[in-house]
Amino acid sequence: MKLKTRLKISFCTLIVVPMILFILILLLVMNYQVTTVNNTYHIDNEDTDYESLYNPVRFFGRLAEEISTEIDTTLKEHPSNIENIDYLTDIGNRLVKKASYIVVRKADNIEFSTLPNSYDDIISMLPEYVGEAVEPHAFTYSGGDYERITRQMDFIYPNGSKGSVFVITPIKKVTPQIKSVIVKVLIVVIIILAGTSGGLTFWIYKGMVKPLAKLKEATQNIKDGNLDFTLDTSGTDEISELCLDFEEMRKRLKESAEEKVQYDKESKELISNISHDLKTPITAVKGYVEGIMDGVADTPEKMDKYIRTIYNKANDMDRLINELTFYSKIDTNKIPYTFTKINVDTYFKDCVEEIALDLEAKNIKLGYFNYTEESFQIIADAEQLKRVINNIIGNSVKYINKKEGIVNVRIKDVGDFIQVEIEDNGKGIAARDLPYIFDRFYRTDSSRNSAQGGSGIGLSIVKKIIEDHGGKIWATSKEDTGTVMYFVLRKYQEEIHYE
């Protein structure tokens, strides 16, 4: 999940979830409190609601309404009952369950009262006799230290005295209930906010801090030179994408380090090969020069032989140095190419004639067969393509182990390409080695034995030149029979414009 999306969800969650949870838990707390109030004041659940919590005056006004109506009916129908202590005691006991009290006043005297001693001062605050009919559901609210609901019912005693019955409900008893609700709601709010914040913090921590910790560990590994580890890149957020990029960087660094190690190894091997291959002709040159200086070449024939040998060995050294120079150009991609149009038959025929003389001296027969039209042309660098022919044939000659060696060069037409085949009857290449013969410095006992000399980069140079010409090279071989090298080059075709 994207970090931006995660933050949006977190913001919305921090607003919506606490609100929903607060409402749900508030309803549960209020239901619990209503149930507690109902149980405390002996009220049926279906006869009450949340009024006791948000409007206590109205609630307590209704609390003793039913009993007040009953008293009012008694006063109208049986006023003598108001002087019955048993009746008043029963009413008083019922009112206590409703957190209310009854006071009966006759003239200015209190005839009966269930008010606790702590409420004695209320008696002096009772209103005067009115004498008017008062509805039993009507009540008055008084504040101050003795906050209360008072219902007043005036009547006339049988002897003509003025009387009043008061039903008094102190409101301060509801305060603990309200305080309890407020405290519980505050606790609920704190728990909800803490829980929501904690959950979101953990979610964000899991999505941000943990990947950052892994990234920090990865940077420390790279700092210590350790690239052999894998950075977990699971996820789709920005930090996971950063981890993915970091993992790609680590892989490239590792590849670069491995390439450097391989390059250093190849460079050392090249130096070793060149040193070995230069040492052999230098030793021979030195020996023959010493022979001339010591007078061993005392006849014209010997002198000619010594000088020719020195010349050949000098050519071998020159060839090795040229390969080394060309190898450095390959590594820096600075091979100088001069592409021109070349006639296929004329070019390859000249190359073969130039090489044929040298092979004839080594008792190797060189054949040339052109199966293409004489007009076929290619776009190529004549000098570099000649290097390809010389390297392939030179490699073939090096491993011909027959008394009469044969090298055949065939040129074929293969659609949009011309295919060059160079076949020899040498010792061949083992199947396990064939896929690697174009790799730099690759040597095998059966194909490029170091005892035969050579830098080990001849065929890799050939492959590079052919590929730079847009062609392809491959080989087939059979041990003790010979090897065939193939490469293809695209034909040159003039564009025809129609008017």
How far apart are the C-alpha atoms of 422 and 368, rounded to whole Å?
Answer: 9
Per residue in 320-360, pLDDT tens?
777 777 766 666 666 778 999 999 999 999 999 988 888 88
Which CB contacts under 8 angstroms, 24+ apart, belong to 117-126? 119/146, 119/168, 119/170, 121/146, 122/146, 122/148, 122/168, 126/150, 126/152, 126/164, 126/166
> Could you report the average pLDDT of every consecutive run of 10 residues in the chain (499 residues)?
64 72 72 66 54 61 79 85 90 87 90 86 86 66 79 86 88 60 73 76 70 82 82 71 83 85 74 72 86 85 88 80 72 77 94 88 90 93 91 88 91 94 92 86 52 65 91 93 94 64
CA atoms within 13 A on the CB side of 194: 6
Question: What's the rounded Cα separation, in Å, for the pair 428 and 441?
Answer: 18
pLDDT of residue 446: 40
**How buried is residue 462: exposed, middle or buried, by Cβ count under 10 Å (0-12/13-18/19+)?**
buried
Q: What is the pLDDT of residues 81-132, one digit of tens each?
A: 888 999 999 999 988 888 889 999 998 899 999 998 878 788 888 888 887 6
CA-based nearest residue to 370, from 423, 420, 424: 420
Q: pTM (2 decimals)?
A: 0.47
Residue 317 to residue 312: CA distance in whole angstroms: 9
Half-sphere exposure of 441 (CA within 13 A, CB side): 15
3-state secondary structure 138-175: CCEEECHHHCEEEEEEEEECCCCCEEEEEEEEECHHHH
